[in-house]
Amino acid sequence: MKQTIFTLLIAGYSLWPACQHPDIIMPIEPNPVDSSNTATCEDTIEINFPGAMEHGFFKAVKTCRDFKASGYAHWPGDTFTHLNISARTYFPYILTNGDTAFLNAEGFAFFVPRKIGKFPMISVPGVHTDTVTCWFSYLDVDITISDWFVDSSFSDNVLEITELDMVNNRVKGRFNVHLKIDTSRPDYDDRYPFTLYFYDGEFDLEIIE
pLDDT tens-digit readout, 60-109 = 999 999 999 999 999 887 667 899 999 999 998 888 887 888 899 999 99
154 in helix, strand or coil? coil
Residue 149's Cα: distance from chain center in Å? 13
Predicted confidence (pLDDT) at residue 31 exceeds the cutoff of 70: no
Q: What is the pTM of this model?
A: 0.79
Pair 187, 181: CB distance under 8 Å: no
Of all helices (H) and strands (E), which one includes residue 44?
helix 41-44
Of all helices (H) and strands (E), which one includes residue 5?
helix 2-12
174: exposed, middle or buried (C-beta count within 10 Å: 0-12, 13-18, 19+)? middle
Domain definitions of the chain by residue range: 2-23+39-208
